[in-house]
A and B are shown apart, each in its own frame.
Chain A
């Protein structure tokens, strides 16, 4: 059992109870004993570590709902253990693994494998999302009931879109009874097929095939109709254009049970960052224009977009050091999600509370996880943030096994200085 911890004089921001006040957090037996102004005079438990949190923000540990790892199948890119160290360094205490592994997480044995590896080796909580269709092929549904019982927290097709509306309708109808959330990325298989970046003037000059925004929006609108039809819990995993946010808003107003997420990359970068074919900025969906980015930041601030994900996707030099069109999509993000998100706080576009809500409380709620709160009795997953500390994201700072970050040498203000998982200090960067 870990020793009790008392964090004093800290600004506590907990969106789960609308809390933003300076006070004390008392941690005992891996759980929150008390948190807030009222806890100040409670006195510390015997043998407690006393931490002075002056000048810091304490928030519920971050929950990242979209993380790709290489285990099993591509451990040279990332293992569950190495991803967990990267997560801890970035203030993330819980993450959900996408099923795009080899073999695919479409069977209870794989769910159990991920959970066991997480328990034995990871510094943070690890939950698997199971494949919605067998082998992610988009044709036959997986065993939602058994997978859910084994511990899968969501059903997704990972990087792959579901093209067949009939398959999706049946999956949604069947999954509903098991209370399973279906989280999908939408991408039309024909429209913009072969597209490698945002369609537009920049792609035209670079001679690269473009992916139009309609390739995301049209299948999303289809999915939202099916979600309304089947009353399924639907989560749009990664939207990138304001038309998608608008579609979500409309569906929600009609009463559908739908939520959506956006990657930190799409909130803080745009297509111009690709410059002369920089493959670390090759993502799916592609980085969009600056007008799109600012509109998405606004949609995050007003709550239309529920959550922020890192979309951590480790890639090796052999998949990235290629001509742009041939290079793999994806960027790592566990270690930089918080710091990049704080840019939106410093620019005054999104409040700190909303950012923490979008990276902790809300994803925990959507995926039914015991996380995202500092209420008494909650698991003591805590991140201490120095909101104002400047730092430089040099390559040697990254602990992830892959180095494909779009933020190499980026200047940030603010980072996670300490990360606690169930009361245990798993990262300390002071």
Chain B
């Protein structure tokens, strides 16, 4: 049996090419389960999964919930974002309380970088990072990789252009790490105000024009630009941003004819992506959502079952 030498999934950093391939292979199989009429398995029967979301996220949370349920786990959702639970109680206190309930896996989203790693030090179960601040969002990178691999048949030597707000994006960081580990060529395309310091040393070629950055690309990955960053703080206006960095039919022409268009969602139509492209033939945005459930099933199964040849006591 293939082995996966990690107890938690806190980031793509630290994963090797075989680790990633193992997860993607498993996820491929999980896609078939989700497409059957009978979607429920007993892989994680009797195990408890707690989704601890300090930041609201309908998509990611429901994707993890569905993944757990399809594997037969008992799933509990804790949305701490706006509730009183947050008041006066630290992340660690909340984690210790939940830990006392003997969960088998904690899925954590938090607005601070490193939050998932901090939790993992304090609890006795596996921890999956569902997004920590501007640090990492590993399952998103894995589902993106699965989507690409199923469409292109490989990840090595393909050209992926990641476009938009790389600075604030945990999705971009995880994708840069994963795609580099798999031998893809990564480009980032953005105005300089939206790129992190040292980006050229992070394993990405840097472009400031969509036409050049998208040239011969196999995949065009768009990132969300948050509303509060569009009106003067990082870029002057929505219309200027869309004019130079929004993906429309004209700019997409620079990429390969069969290039995939991706977006981690939720989209700002008319800001970073034109509607006709988001809904067009090259868009795989819906497939990404489907792959999300499969990848999360694969991750949980791998962490909770495979490495111990059986559920954790």
The reply to whether B91 and A323 contact each other, CB–CB distance below 8 Å, is yes
B31 at interface, CB cutoff 8 A: no
B201 at interface, CB cutoff 8 A: yes
A204's nearest neighbour on chain B, judged by CB, is B196
B122's nearest neighbour on chain A, judged by CB, is A321
Which residues of chain A are near B199, meaning CB under 8 Å? Answer: 204
Binds B, one of A66-74, A195-203, A416-424: A195-203
B114's nearest neighbour on chain A, judged by CB, is A277
Which residues of chain B are near A321, meaning CB under 8 Å? Answer: 90, 92
The reply to whether B197 and A201 contact each other, CB–CB distance below 8 Å, is yes
Given contacts A204-B202, A206-B135, A277-B117, contact A324 B197 (CB under 8 A): no
The reply to whether B134 and A207 contact each other, CB–CB distance below 8 Å, is yes
The reply to whether B173 and A207 contact each other, CB–CB distance below 8 Å, is yes
Which residues of chain A are near B118, meaning CB under 8 Å? Answer: 277, 322-323
Q: Which of A199, A204, A324 contacts B114 (CB 8 A)?
A: A324
Would you give the shortest CB distance from B119 to chain A, in whole angstroms? 9
A409 at interface, CB cutoff 8 A: no
The reply to whether A207 and B90 contact each other, CB–CB distance below 8 Å, is no
The reply to whether A208 and B90 contact each other, CB–CB distance below 8 Å, is no
B113's nearest neighbour on chain A, judged by CB, is A207
The reply to whether A276 and B202 contact each other, CB–CB distance below 8 Å, is no
Residue among A199, A277, A318 having the largest count of chain B Cβ atoms under 10 Å: A277
Would you give the shortest CB distance from B7 to chain A, in whole angstroms? 15
A301 at interface, CB cutoff 8 A: no
Q: Which of B13, B91, B110, B198 contacts A204 (CB 8 A)?
A: B198
Would you give the shortest CB distance from B114 to chain A, in whole angstroms? 3
Would you give the shortest CB distance from A211 to chain B, in whole angstroms? 11
How far is B91's CA from A205's CA once the two chains are assembled, in angstroms?
Answer: 22
Q: How many chain A residues touch B (Cβ–Cβ < 8 Å)?
A: 19
The reply to whether B198 and A207 contact each other, CB–CB distance below 8 Å, is no
How far is B167's CA from A207's CA once the two chains are assembled, in angstroms?
Answer: 9
Would you give the shortest CB distance from A238 to chain B, in whole angstroms? 23
A202's nearest neighbour on chain B, judged by CB, is B198
Which residues of chain A are near B117, meaning CB under 8 Å? Answer: 276-277
Which residues of chain B are near A203, meaning CB under 8 Å? Answer: 197
A324's nearest neighbour on chain B, judged by CB, is B114
Which residues of chain B are near A201, meaning CB under 8 Å? Answer: 197-198, 201-202
Residue among B13, B114, B135, B199 having the largest count of chain A Cβ atoms under 10 Å: B114
Cβ < 8 Å to A, chain B residues 186-202: 196-199, 201-202
Cβ < 8 Å to B, chain A residues 320-369: 321-326
The reply to whether A200 and B133 contact each other, CB–CB distance below 8 Å, is no
B112 at interface, CB cutoff 8 A: yes
B69 at interface, CB cutoff 8 A: no
Which residues of chain A are near B133, meaning CB under 8 Å? Answer: 207-208, 323, 325
A210 at interface, CB cutoff 8 A: yes
Q: Which of A199, A200, A318, A324 contacts B113 (CB 8 A)?
A: A324
Residue among A205, A208, A277, A325 having the largest count of chain B Cβ atoms under 10 Å: A205
Cβ < 8 Å to B, chain A residues 173-229: 199-201, 203-208, 210
Cβ < 8 Å to A, chain B residues 105-143: 110, 112-115, 117-118, 132-136
Which residues of chain B are near A326, meaning CB under 8 Å? Answer: 112
The reply to whether A207 and B135 contact each other, CB–CB distance below 8 Å, is yes
B224 at interface, CB cutoff 8 A: no
Contact sample, A vs B, 15 pairs, CB 8 Å cutoff:
A201-B197, A203-B197, A204-B196, A204-B197, A205-B173, A207-B134, A207-B173, A277-B117, A321-B90, A321-B92, A322-B92, A322-B112, A323-B91, A323-B118, A324-B114
The 5 A-B pairs at the shortest CB distance, nearest first, are namely A207-B135, A323-B112, A277-B114, A201-B198, A207-B134
Q: Given A207-B113, A322-B112, A323-B110, list of 8 further CB < 8 A pairs? A: A200-B198, A201-B198, A201-B201, A204-B199, A206-B114, A208-B133, A277-B113, A321-B90
